[in-house]
Every structure is written in C-alpha cells, then in structure tokens.
Amino acid sequence: MTRLPSAGRALPRIATAALAAALVATAAGAAVAADGPGASASSARQRMAQVSPGDASHFPVEAIDGAGQDFTYMWGVNGKLESRQEGLGDLKQLRAATQIDTDSDHVYDSDAYFLTTDHKVILSKPLDSVHRQVASGWGEYDTFFSPGDLGGAKQPDLLVRDRQGVLWMYLAKADGSLTGKKKVGPGWGQYTQITGKGDLTGDGRTDIVARDKDGVLWLYKGTGDWAKPFQGRTKIGGGWNQFNLLLGAGDTDLDGRSDLLARDKSGALWRYKGTGRATAPFAAKEKIGNSGWNQYRIVY
C-alpha cells in the first residue's frame, strides 16, 4: 500500500488558516479572500505529486467541534486513522463542508467547498492560493456535498437538497465556479442521510447512497450524464438507523475503491470498505474510532 508522504500533513493547517481569513473577508462583504502561503504550498504540492494514486480519490477525515475548532485525521499504514491534528481556524461560521479532488488526480490537495452560516459558498484551493466566494443565497438547502464528477467534465460537482425534498445539482467549471442549479428530482425528503464520494460500483461513474426513515440504505448508480445523473435506486440493506452520520469518504486505505464511514449513536466511528460491486457495494463494518466522535458537529 502506498502511504501519503508526511509533507501532506501540513496541508490542513494551510487550508484552515486561509479559510479563517476568508470567513472574515466574506463577513465584511468582500467577494475574494486573501491569498494563502504560496511558496510552502508549492513545495507541498511537489511532494504530494510523488504519490502513486489508485482509482479513487484519497482524503483525510476533517472534523469541526461545537466551539468551531477544526481537526484533521490523516490515514496511516493499513488504513488506520492517525492521531488528530489541531488546525488554526475558528470555524464557527461554517454550516457544512465537502472535500473535492479538483484536478481529478486522486491525490489529496486540501481543496474543498464550504457553506457558511450566512449562506455563501467558498471555494478553497490553498495550494493555488485560491480562496473565494462562488455562490450566495444557499439558505434553502439542508444537504450539501460533492460526490465527485457527475456531469462528465471531470470537475467535482455539488449536490444540494432543498427543504421541499428536491435534489439539485450544480456543475463545477474548470476554475471551480458553478453553473446555475439543475434539477435532479423531487422525493428526496424521504431520506435522513444522502452521501457518497466516487465510484461505488466499479463502472467508473460517481454514485451516491441514501438512507430512508426506516433505516434502509439505497444505492443510486451514476450515469455520467448531467441531464439524468442517476439510475433508479437499488436496495443495499436495512439497519442503518444505528448511525447518526454517514459519510462518503473516498478511498481511505488506498486499495482503489471508495469507502463509507458511519458514526454510531455512542460516538464510535466505523468503516464500510468498498467492494466495487453494485450487488454488494460494501464489506462488513469495522470499527476504526472509539467513542468521542459525537463531539463534532461537522465531519467531512
């Protein structure tokens, strides 16, 4: 298994410092945030490029507690979570966040979209010294995440759900800006969790999963067509109400398959490794974090 180099561990600190600055700027009404630390970021990128990626994007686990303090958990040898690293930012102004693989190279670059409490969307690409607002007026949405490329243009797109249960897609452009919203469809209010990160079925297309109110998890296979991004749902299985958080995590152990993380009601963290098979997309759960994960109001 290829392990991410230690140089990458500085990236969360670069990202959170830039994000904290951007939150201050946007709160003051500025449209574009200050540049990040370009020289150290460039050096980090060169070392990150030495990683041999698999077929799925690799991300750490980011978490923000109730006080707004952010933490990063890197993946170590054999897919184990390393001790958390404390970031630099005070992120109480965030409602939601989602990591993205902007250049589709399957390597973690610390890029993300952030949704703020004043309903703005911020694009963060700290290795490129980019940190800017790309949308506003998103207060109607109660779900916000990027599963990856849905429209076929290789950029990671965004999915959001409004309070009437309609799912919408925003396609990302090459510079990270977003198109106008495109309707995926109604009826998504039946789900208590919707998530996904990458290909779950081995066909090279981005998929998502959704848990209904009875605790049944459903798979929506991606089509690669922005006009109709998902096929009809297929049942994965029941019993998923034991968890209060589901998170599409990408490839957590560098086996080339996308995985799913789940937090149970006691605060323990579990992993469902991806199989790459549509008929059974996840292997049996394995515990990767003891109690304590309930302290985080955002995990992404």
Residue carrying structure tokens 């970031």: 87
- Mean pLDDT over all residues of the chain? 85
Q: What is the pLDDT of residue 3?
A: 30
Nearest Cα neighbor of 173 from 161, 195, 158 is 158
Residue 27 has pLDDT above 60, yes or no: no
On whether the CB atoms of residues 188 and 165 are closer than 8 A, the answer is yes
> What per-residue confidence (pLDDT) applies to 18?
58
CA separation for the pair 237, 11 (Å, rounded): 37
The stretch 216-233 carries a mean pLDDT of 96
Kind of pairing, strands 112-116 and 157-162? unpaired
* 59, β-bridge pairs: none
Supply 168's token pair: 């919408």
Residue 121 has, within 13 A of its CA and on its CB side, a CA count of 25
The runs of H, that is alpha helices, within the chain are: 11-27, 38-48
DSSP, collapsed to helix, strand or coil, labels residue 79 as helix
Residue 180 pLDDT greater than 90, yes or no: yes
